[in-house]
Amino acid sequence: MASHTPPLLGSAPAQPWRSSISGVSRVTRRGRIVLKTAVWVGALAPLGWLLYRTATDRLGANPIDEITDRLGDWTLRLLLVSLTMTPLRLLFDLSWPVTLRRLLGLFAFFYASLHLSVWMVLDHFFDWPTMGADVVKRPYITVGMTALLLLIPLAVTSTTGMIRRLGARAWRRLHRLVYLAAIAAVLHYLWLAKVGVLDPYWYAAALVVLLGVRGWDVARRAVRRRRGRSVPGVSSPATP
């Protein structure tokens, strides 16, 4: 059973009936360093660009809104990219994307934290009563805050040590919270966007596809289990 393997630490379990494919997709140590470096560069580039625009006064007439919106964009994008890694394994039997999942998730949390900080510090300048009222009264802020709160336990337990301590199965169950966080994050954007802005619908569509692949995988396994046929390679439960 694949669930005995800590899910994020490397290659998919050996699958004799398609060993050639798994052989290709297994990541070497060097490959992993290259991939992770690419994620670091790719995930920090938008922040670098934003800082550059800030330093050179290229944020337009409403810099605070611009910073808030762009940080929000990249939170959602990274969250959705992190949720794309498992479908790549399920659909194409690639194991390397899963090794990037935690890192991508942490960067999503990083951008979410910046997004919230800008809202608290630059936008409202520590006006706690107003912010508190917004969290309670404005559904888009309520779900946005919910998304961020749901990501906190995931970020805290993101280390390899925590996976060991919790056990792979419990860890994986906990990290399914990311589905809720992503749904809340997409709702946050859907509910705040003005008429005619289509971006949030694209994010919603992407999320439906990404969760749909997992649903399809769960259903596929259930059907096979009912038929009493044990099929290697499709026995591991869908993971974040």
Partner 1 sequence: MLIRKAPRFKSSEITDERVYLDRRTFMAGTAALVLGGGEALAATPPAPLAPLKAARSEAFSVKEPATKEESATTYNNFYEFGVNKEDPSRLAHTLRTRPWTVKVEGLVGKPKTFDIDELIRLFPLEERVYALRCVEAWSMIIPWIGFPLASLLKRVEPTSQAKFVEFTTLQDPEQFPGQKPGLFGMSSLDWPYIEGLRLDEALHPLTLLTVGMYGRMLPNQNGAPVRVVIPWKYGFKSAKSIVRIRVVADQPKTAWEKASPQEYGFYSNVNPNVSHPRWSQATERRIGEFRRRNTPMFNGYADQVASLYTGLDLKKFY
Told to check if 123 binds partner 1 by CB under 8 A, we report yes
Q: Does 55 bind partner 1 (CB under 8 A)?
A: no
| Torsion over CA: 182, 184, 186, 188 (sign) | negative
Residues 140-159 that bind partner 1 (CB under 8 A): 140
Which H or E run includes 148? helix 139-156
Tell me if 3 sits within 8 A of 13, measured CB to CB: no
Cβ atoms of 185 and 147 within 8 Å: the answer is: yes
**Looking at 3-11, 22-30, 61-69, 212-220, which segment touches partner 1 (CB under 8 A)?**
61-69
Of positions 134, 166, 176, 200, contacts partner 1 by CB under 8 A? 134
From 77-85, 96-104, 130-138, 179-187, give the range in contact with partner 1 by CB under 8 A.
Answer: 130-138
185 and 76 Cβ atoms separated by less than 8 Å: yes
Confirm if 220 and 231 have CB atoms less than 8 A apart.
Answer: no
Check residue 198 for interaction with partner 1 (CB under 8 A).
yes
The yes or no reply on residue 228 touching partner 1 (CB under 8 A) is no
Tokens of 192: 């705040």
CB of 113 to partner 1, least distance (A): 22
By C-beta, is 152 or 204 nearer to partner 1?
Answer: 204
First-to-last CA distance in the chain? 17
In the complex, the smallest distance separating the C-beta of residue 54 from partner 1, rounded to whole angstroms, is 13
Q: Does 192 bind partner 1 (CB under 8 A)?
A: yes
Q: Number of residues in contact with partner 1, rule: CB under 8 A?
A: 24
**Rounded distance, CA 47 to CA 74, Å?**
9
- Contacting residue, 18, 26, 53, 138, with partner 1 by CB under 8 A: 138
Q: What's the closest the beta carbon of residue 80 comes to partner 1, in angstroms?
A: 19
Binding of partner 1 by 126 (CB under 8 A): no
Which amino acid, residue 57? D
Residue indicated by tokens 């992503």: 182
Residue closer to partner 1 (CB basis): 68 or 82:
68
Q: Are 239 and 175 in contact (CB under 8 A)?
A: yes
The answer to the question of residue 60 lying near partner 1 (CB under 8 A) is yes
Residue 44 makes contact with partner 1 by CB under 8 A: no
- Dihedral sign (CA 150, 109, 197, 70): positive
Q: How far is CA 238 from CA 63, 101, 179, 214, in A?
A: 41, 14, 12, 6
State the residues that interact with partner 1 by CB under 8 A. Answer: 60-62, 64-65, 122-125, 127, 130, 133-134, 137-140, 191-192, 194-198
